[in-house]
Chains A and B, each alone.
Chain A
C-alpha cells in the first residue's frame, strides 16, 4: 500500500471536483516553504495549479495565522501567551527575556533576518509550561538557562 504520505485528497467519482480545493491548505504550506511566506507569485502559482481564482486562494490563506503574507526571519520564535504559561511564570516573562536578548519586540524581526519573535496562543503544552516553538520544534519547561542555550545554538547556525 502506498499511502505513506497520505495527505492527498479524497479520490472517488463524486469527489474529484471538491477535492481540488481540499488540497489548498496543503498546497499553501508547500508554496510557503521556499520563501518562508506567501509571495504574490506563489499565490498565483497555487491558484493556477488548483484551478482556483487568486481571490479564493487569498481568501483562504488570509484566514490562517500559519500562512504569512510578509517575510519573516529564518527562525520564528513563537512564545505561548496563554493562561497556563502565564501562571507558570512564562508568557510575558519569556517573551520579554528573548526580546531583550535579541533587541526586538514581539512582531519584529532582527535586522539580519535571523530571528522573528511572536506571541502565540496556547500550544497544548500547558502541563509542561512555559512553552514556545521555534519553527517546527517545541520547547517546554523553559527557564532562562534553557532559553540561553537554545538561542546560542541557533545563533551558531545562522
Chain B
C-alpha cells in the first residue's frame, strides 16, 4: 500500500479546522509570507516547475496558465471555482467547509503572481455552509492583514468577495462562470480568447479550481522540487480522490497521483460491498468514459487514464458492482446532462434529449434493435461538435457504456424483436 501522509487533507481532521486560529497554528499563511518575499515571476516559475495541473477536470498546467496573463494589463482578475457539480465529485465542498483558509492562501499567492487585485469566489448556490465558511474566512483574513491594502507590508493589495451561483452545473465551466459572475445567464463563451486573455468584463481573468489553489501554499513552502518528486511523469503531486458507489468505505482519499485504481478501491475504500466483484468504474466524474474490472491496475494519472481510453477528470471514482444495471446507469447520467444542458447549441440541447428518449424507451423494453445505431448516430452528431466541452462529456458515458456492456443493452429488446 502506498505510504502517504496527507498534505491537502492534513488540516481538515483537526477540530475547528475551518477557523483561522487553527490554520495559523498548523503553519498557515507562512507560504504567503514567503511568496511575498519573492517576485511574481519567481512564484510563477515555482508553480510551473512543480508540474501542478488543474484539479477542476481539464488538467491544464497551472503555472503555464498564469504566464499567459498579459503583464501590462492594468486590470486583472482571479476567479475561484467552487461550483463543484460533476456527479461523483465532493472534494471541493470538503475543503471549503473544513479548510477554507488553505484555498484562500492559495488565492492570495495566485493573485500576487498574476498581478490581480480583485478576486471573486463563485460558489454553488446549494453550498449553504460553504458560503458561510467562505465569508467568515475572508472576513478573518482581512482582520489579520492577509487581505486588503498593503498585505503584510508588501505593497500588494487584494480584495475578495463571494458570489453565489443559483443551480446550474454549466456555470462550473469557466466562461459560463464568468457570464454568471457578470449577472447573466450562464451560457459559455466561445474560446479562444481564453479567460487568461479576456475574461470577466473582458479583462484577463485566471479561473482556478479550489483543490488546485489549495496546493499552492505547499508548493511555495516546500518548493517545486519536492512537489515534482511526487506522482508520475506527467501528473505531479497529491490528489484528492472522491470514492463513491458500491464500496465499503466511500469518502475522500488523498494519495499521490499514479496510485492504481485497484489500490484506491480495495485498500483505501475497503473493497466492494457485500464481497461482490467490480463490474464498472467511472474514474474521473460522470463525464469520463467508463472502465471495466480488467482495467483496475491503471495508475490514476492524466496520461495513463487517457491511454486507457478515459480521463482523470476531477478524480471522482464511482464504483459499480456486478449486480449493477448498466442501462439504468447510462440513462441516469444522460438525464443529468440533458437536464443541465444550457441550451445554447442544438446538438447538445436536441441531441441529448433524443438520446434520453431512446434510452428511456430501451429501459422500458420498448425499443427495436435499430436503436443501437440510432444512439451511435446521435452521439456522433454531438461529440466534438458542440460549443463547449459538455456535449462531448455527455456522450462519453453513453458511448463507453454501450460499447462495454452491449449485451445488457440488447437484452432489453422485446422478445419479438
Contact = CB atoms under 8 A, between A and B. Distances in A.
B88 A84 contact: yes
Contacts of B85: 121-122, 124
B336 interface: yes
Nearest to B203: A14
Contact of A22 (B90, B182, B339): B182
A18 interface: yes
A86 interface: yes
B92 A126 contact: no
Interface in A37-79: 59-60, 63-67
B25 interface: no
Contact of A127 (B75, B90, B164, B182): B90
A126 B197 CA distance: 35
A129 B244 contact: yes
Contact of A138 (B86, B129, B243): B129
A11 B127 CA distance: 26
Interface of chain A: mostly helix, strand, loop or mixed: loop
Contacts of A142: none
B393 to A, nearest CB: 14
B251 interface: yes
Given A84-B88, A126-B87, A7 B332 contact: no
Taking each of A20, A82, A84, A124, which has the highest tally of chain B beta carbons within 10 Å of its own beta carbon?
A: A124
B87 A82 contact: yes
A25 interface: yes
B159 interface: yes
B84 A124 contact: yes
How many residues of B sit at the interface, in one of the four size bands?
35 or more
A98 B133 CA distance: 31
Contacts of A123: 126
Contact of A124 (B75, B89, B164): B89
A157 interface: no
Interface string A1-33: 101111111111011001011111110110000
Contact of A6 (B138, B318, B340): B138
A124 B96 CA distance: 12
B236 interface: no
Interface residues of A, number: 51
B90 A124 contact: yes
A7 B183 CA distance: 13
Contact of A3 (B142, B181, B336): B142
Interface in A87-103: 87-88, 91
A125 interface: yes
Contacts of A127: 90, 242-244, 250-252
A92 to B, nearest CB: 10
A6 B135 contact: yes
B88 A122 contact: yes
B364 to A, nearest CB: 15
Contacts of A26: 163-164
Given A65-B167, A65-B168, A66-B125, A1 B148 contact: yes
B139 A25 contact: no
B106 interface: no
Contacts of A143: none
Interface in B171-207: 180-187, 201
B183 A25 contact: yes
A121 B84 CA distance: 12
A144 interface: no
Contacts of A125: 90, 93
A65 B166 CA distance: 6
A83 interface: yes
B165 interface: yes
Interface of A: 1, 3-12, 14-15, 18, 20-26, 28-29, 59-60, 63-67, 81-84, 86-88, 91, 121-129, 133, 136-138
Q: Which 5 A-B pairs have the closest CB atoms?
A: A64-B166, A24-B183, A65-B167, A1-B142, A21-B183
Given A60-B185, A66-B126, 17 more contacts: A4-B135, A6-B138, A7-B161, A10-B120, A11-B159, A22-B163, A24-B184, A83-B88, A84-B250, A84-B318, A87-B244, A88-B250, A122-B87, A122-B336, A124-B124, A127-B244, A133-B126
